[in-house]
């Protein structure tokens, strides 16, 4: 079974061609995927001495409204290229289950994925930079920013933040059971879905920590509470 939500006018570059019935162009649905995932993959092409080399870098991110923020060292090759206006493709994927069919050909996964295209710009305003770093921190662990030491001036200078507007995007979603060929439904093997999700273990106290475990760290989950 597949899901298709209301259209938000995809561009020719973000129109889903393969399995179009799984396409999602709804901004709220895309934001939900972005907010639940932990890591994105940043794809770009580095032009060095006429050698066009593609790179895909996994990293953390944060969302604030219709803007995605990424950060790193000013010496980072990726950030140095992106701040020059190199086109970027950012992807996020959540795997929700293994779909086991009767035939190997029809095995699949239930997943939610997002693709964002555009060009990133360097955040130079100090207030926005600090707000972006807060968004990055809160994305990973809500309430942690206010419960930790804030970045000092030296740390801020050692960090570059890039902004990417979430304007050109699409998502793709698969949900539901396996879809077998009719003649395979009588094949004698187990078929169905094995659900997958991120689960946290018991917190491990640092040897030099004397503080009690805060409530926001109990039962940590990536699922957003409704």
Please write down the HEC assignment for all residues of the chain: CECCCCCCCCCCCCCCCCCHHHEECCHHHHHHHHHHCCEEEEEEEEEECCEEEEEEEEEECEEECCEEEEEECCCCHHHHHHCCCCEEEEEEEEEEEEEECCCHHHCEEEEEEEEEEEECEECCCHHHHHHHHHHHHHHHCCCCCCCCCCCCHHHHHCCEEEEEECCEEEEEEECCCCCCCHHHCCCCCCCEEEECCCCCCCCCCCCCCCCCCCHHHCCCCCCCCC
Q: What percentage of residues in the chain have a pLDDT greater than 90?
A: 76
pLDDT of residue 6: 45
pLDDT of residue 224: 66
pLDDT of residue 77: 87
User: Mind listing the pLDDT tens digit of every residue in the chain (226 residues)?
Assistant: 334 444 467 899 998 988 889 899 999 999 999 999 999 999 999 876 667 889 999 999 999 999 999 999 998 989 988 988 899 999 999 999 999 999 999 999 999 999 999 999 999 999 999 999 999 999 999 999 999 999 999 999 999 999 999 999 999 999 999 999 999 999 999 999 999 998 899 999 999 999 999 999 998 888 765 4
Look at residue 5 and tell me if it is in a domain. Answer: no
Look at residue 105 and tell me if it is in a domain. Answer: yes
| Total structural domains within the chain | 1
Look at residue 31 and tell me if it is in a domain. Answer: yes
List, for residues 40-84, the tens digit of each pLDDT value.
999 999 876 667 889 999 999 999 999 999 999 998 989 988 988
Look at residue 14 and tell me if it is in a domain. Answer: no
pLDDT of residue 212: 95
pLDDT of residue 155: 96
Look at residue 50 and tell me if it is in a domain. Answer: yes
Look at residue 212 and tell me if it is in a domain. Answer: yes
- Report the CATH number that the domain containing residue 117 is assigned in CATH: 2.30.110.10
Domain span at residue 159? Answer: 20-217
Look at residue 173 and tell me if it is in a domain. Answer: yes
Look at residue 109 and tell me if it is in a domain. Answer: yes
């Amino acid at each position: 079974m597949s899901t298709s939500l209301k259209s938000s006018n995809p561009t020719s570059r973000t129109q889903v061609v393969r399995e179009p019935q799984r396409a999602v162009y709804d901004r709220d649905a895309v934001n939900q995927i972005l907010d639940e995932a932990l890591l994105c993959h940043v794809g770009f092409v580095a032009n060095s001495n006429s050698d066009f080399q593609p790179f895909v870098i996994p990293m953390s991110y944060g969302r604030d409204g219709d803007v995605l923020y990424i950060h790193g060292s000013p010496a980072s090759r990726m950030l140095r290229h992106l701040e020059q206006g190199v086109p970027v493709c950012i992807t996020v994927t959540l795997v929700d289950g293994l779909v086991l069919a009767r035939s190997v050909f029809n095995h699949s996964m239930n997943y939610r994925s997002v693709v964002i295209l555009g060009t990133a710009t360097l955040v130079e305003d100090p207030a926005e930079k600090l707000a972006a770093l807060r968004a990055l921190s809160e994305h990973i662990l809500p309430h942690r920013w206010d419960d930790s030491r804030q970045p000092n001036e030296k740390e801020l200078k050692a960090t570059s933040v890039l902004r990417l507007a979430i304007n050109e995007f699409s998502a793709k979603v698969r949900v539901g059971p396996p879809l077998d060929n009719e003649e395979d439904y009588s094949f004698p093997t187990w078929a169905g879905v094995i659900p997958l999700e991120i689960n946290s273990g018991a917190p491990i106290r640092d040897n030099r920590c004397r503080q009690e475990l805060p409530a926001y760290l109990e039962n940590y989950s990536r699922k957003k509470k409704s």
